[in-house]
């Protein structure tokens, strides 16, 4: 399958989409990091304010290294912000910080998709490690040409599908967090209309990376199912 022209085309599409999404995200983050807000607060300060506005007082805000390494850890209830977000006053910092707080709000309110995604993490991790081995064995057995091959093919595709499901469920989680973030920034009067638009553009660009991840995973899932002969003919 590694010399299959269709496989090469799909890989190029997936890599191209991912690189484009990553490039747009970094470009917008850099652009809107140069625009300060009238409030003069840092990303960490606005995150603390929004948490307080939502009566969340058990979430720690931590400064971490890296660029765009910001995330919320529901296990330790920690909001981890990179230096460019934690320490700076900018439209980009406000957008990213508020987005991560959005995840903390989801956690506090037991948002269904976040709960499911968190529970699905170990399943997705194990499936991603096993799926390629099982799919390789399925190809060696001739895919759907034999009973054993067909059985192993279905197992491999279903395992890979667990990872695809994770990327799918991630979409509403991330979109909802961004929606909550923008609403909180506006409701708390932490940004002016123009500043809110800058934060929105950064979050919209970041959302593309999750769309790219899902699209790539889905394309690979369909490719494996097709080449193994589970639909659309047999190899």
Instruction: Tell me if 163 is assigned to some domain.
Output: yes
In angstroms, the Cα distances linking 1 to 13, 140, 141, 143, 214 are: 16, 11, 13, 12, 22
Residue 4: pLDDT band (50, 70, 90) is confident
Instruction: Tell me if 234 is assigned to some domain.
Output: no
Instruction: Tell me if 171 is assigned to some domain.
Output: yes
**Please, what's the largest Cα pairwise distance for the chain?**
67
Residues noted as catalytic: 100
d(CA 28, CA 158): 37
Instruction: Tell me if 176 is assigned to some domain.
Output: yes
φ, ψ for residue 81 (rounded to 5)?
-120, 135
Instruction: Tell me if 232 is assigned to some domain.
Output: no
Residue 235: pLDDT band (50, 70, 90) is very low
Total count of domains within the chain = 1
Q: Cβ atoms within 10 A of the Cβ of 129, count?
A: 11
Instruction: Tell me if 158 is assigned to some domain.
Output: yes
Q: Cβ atoms within 10 A of the Cβ of 133, count?
A: 11
Q: How, if at all, do strands 78-82 and 60-64 pair?
A: parallel
Query: pLDDT tens, 164-218?
Result: 999 999 999 999 999 999 999 999 999 999 999 999 999 999 999 999 999 999 9
Q: 0.85 exceeded by the pTM?
A: yes
Q: What is the dihedral of CA 122, 125, 127, 133, to 10 degrees?
A: -150
Q: How, if at all, do strands 71-73 and 78-82 pair?
A: antiparallel
Instruction: Tell me if 213 is assigned to some domain.
Output: yes
Reported as type and span, the H/E element at residue 160 is helix 147-187
Instruction: Tell me if 235 is assigned to some domain.
Output: no
Task: Quote the domain boundaries for residue 52.
Answer: 5-227
Query: pLDDT tens, 6-50?
Result: 999 999 999 999 999 999 999 999 999 999 999 999 999 999 999
φ, ψ for residue 63 (rounded to 5)?
-95, 125
d(CA 10, CA 197): 35
User: Which of 90, 103, 88, 87 lies closest to 54, judged by CA?
Assistant: 103
DSSP state for residue 88 in the 8-state scheme: -
């Amino acid at each position: 399958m590694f010399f299959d022209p269709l496989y090469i085309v799909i890989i190029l599409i997936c890599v191209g989409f991912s690189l484009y999404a990553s490039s747009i995200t970094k470009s917008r983050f850099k652009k809107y990091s140069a625009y300060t807000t009238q409030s003069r607060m840092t990303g960490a300060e606005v995150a603390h304010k929004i948490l307080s506005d939502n009566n969340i007082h058990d979430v720690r805000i931590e400064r971490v290294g890296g660029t765009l390494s910001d995330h919320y850890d529901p296990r330790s209830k920690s909001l981890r912000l990179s230096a460019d977000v934690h320490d700076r006053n900018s439209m980009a910092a406000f957008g990213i910080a508020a987005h991560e707080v959005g995840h903390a709000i989801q956690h506090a309110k037991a948002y269904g998709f976040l709960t499911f995604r968190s529970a699905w993490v170990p399943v997705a991790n194990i499936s991603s490690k096993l799926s390629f081995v099982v799919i390789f064995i399925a190809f060696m057995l001739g895919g759907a040409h034999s009973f054993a091959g067909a059985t192993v093919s279905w197992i491999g595709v279903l395992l890979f599908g667990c990872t695809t499901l994770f990327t799918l469920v991630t979409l509403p989680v991330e979109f909802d967090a961004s929606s909550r973030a923008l609403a909180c920034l506006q409701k708390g009067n932490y940004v002016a209309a123009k500043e809110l638009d800058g934060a929105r553009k950064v979050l919209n660009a970041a959302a593309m990376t999750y769309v790219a991840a899902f699209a790539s995973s889905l394309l690979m899932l369909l490719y494996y199912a097709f080449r193994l002969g589970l639909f659309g003919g047999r190899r």
